[in-house]
Amino acid sequence: QSALTQPPSASGSPGQSVTISCTGTSSDVGGYDFVSWYQHHPGKAPKLIIYEVIKRPSGVPDRFSGSKSGNTASLTVSGLQFEDEADYYCMSYAGNNDLVFGGGTKVTVL
Amino acid sequence: QLQLQESGPGLVKPSETLSLTCTISGDSITSSLYFWVWIRQPPGKGLEWIGNLFYSGNTYYNSSFTSRVTISVDPSKTQFSLKLSSMTAADTALYFCARYRRLADYIDHWGQGTLVTVSS
């Protein structure tokens, strides 16, 4: 399966919002409500921030929100903080116990 | 608190087989709620799913690796392993082990990753 498509970079000033898209196909993103998002600070373990498209794990600030329309899922980070500067990856279930990741988006807080 | 720790050689020669181990603490590999997963990240690139393991030994692999990958559970049930044969420079990557929640399909815990370089 092909990787999901994410923009390589996104940026915003503190307090602003940034939205990252994750585009797949009807065989993955569009076919299942099993899209998750991960925050990765290099050198650390990636962290789950959104699962099942819109759900937030306990402890994840409500500044992080997810959505999906058709074959494209999105992650929005509202009220950007310097600590949000990281790489963000989407992942989707792709049927038959397959998983597929996005290429990652580097978020810079200006 | 679940912790996952990858271990193995940091340097592998071309054509050799990579062997990595993931040690689990704070949970049991025998839980039917989870798969145990290997994922990698080549330098400067995104994440790539390698395969899933169920505690019973059932495995599911990315078709890109099927011919040369084996993921297995240690009899101790506290570790699982990755073997990737015929290594090339393209397999140079940060390798992560992780726990994957079945039926909700997300990864809830990751190791910090171990860097594997393929070079003669």
CB contact under 8 A, A3 and B46: yes
pLDDT tens across B30-79, in order? 889 999 999 999 999 999 999 999 988 899 999 999 999 999 998 888 99
The residue in chain A having the minimum alpha-carbon distance to the alpha carbon of residue B3 is A45
pLDDT 10s digits, B67-110: 999 999 988 889 999 999 999 999 999 999 999 999 889 999 99
Nearest to A103 among B46, B49, B62 (CB): B46
pLDDT at B117: 98
Report pLDDT for B74.
Answer: 87
For chain B, say whether A3 makes contact (Cβ under 8 Å).
yes
Average pLDDT, chain A: 96
pLDDT, tens digit (0-9, with 9 covering 90-100), for A7-28? 999 999 999 999 999 999 999 9
Interchain CB distance below 8 Å, B110 and A43: no
Mean pLDDT confidence for A73-101? 96
The whole-angstrom separation of Cα B24 and Cα B3 is 6
**pLDDT: is A67 or B1 the higher one?**
A67
Q: Report the mean per-residue pLDDT for chain B.
A: 94
pLDDT tens digit string along A43-65?
899 999 999 999 999 999 999 99
Residue B28 banded pLDDT, cuts 50, 70, 90? confident
A99 in contact with chain B, both atoms CB, cutoff 8 A: yes
CB atoms within 10 A of CB A72: 17
Kindly list the residues from chain A whose CB atom is less than 8 angstroms away from the CB atom of residue B114.
Answer: none
Instruction: For A4, name the nearest residue in chain B, comparing CA atoms only.
Output: B46
Under 8 Å CB-to-CB from B35, ≥6 apart: which residues?
Answer: B52, B53, B54, B60, B99, B100, B102
Q: Is A103 within 8 Å of A9 (Cβ atoms)?
A: no
Interchain contact, B112 vs A91, CB within 8 Å = no
Give the contacts of A54 (CB within 8 A, at least 6 positions apart). A65, A66, A67, A68
Question: What mean pLDDT is predicted for residues B1-9?
Answer: 94
Closest CB to B46 among A43, A57, A102: A102
Across A86-90, average pLDDT: 98
Q: Output phi, psi for B54, to 5 deg.
A: -100, 150
Give Dmax over CA atoms of chain A in angstroms: 41
pLDDT at res. B75: 81
The structure tokens 């307090």 sit at: A15
Please return the burial class of A31, using the count of CB atoms within 10 Å of its CB with bins 0-12, 13-18 and 19+: middle
**Nearest residue of B to residue A44 by CA position?**
B112
The closest CB to that of B49, out of A34, A43, A101, belongs to A101
Q: Give the model's pLDDT for residue B55.
A: 87
Dist CA A5 CA A11 (whole Å): 17
Q: What is the pLDDT of residue B112?
A: 93
- CA separation (Å) from B36 to A13, B4, B71, B73, B107? 38, 10, 9, 9, 9
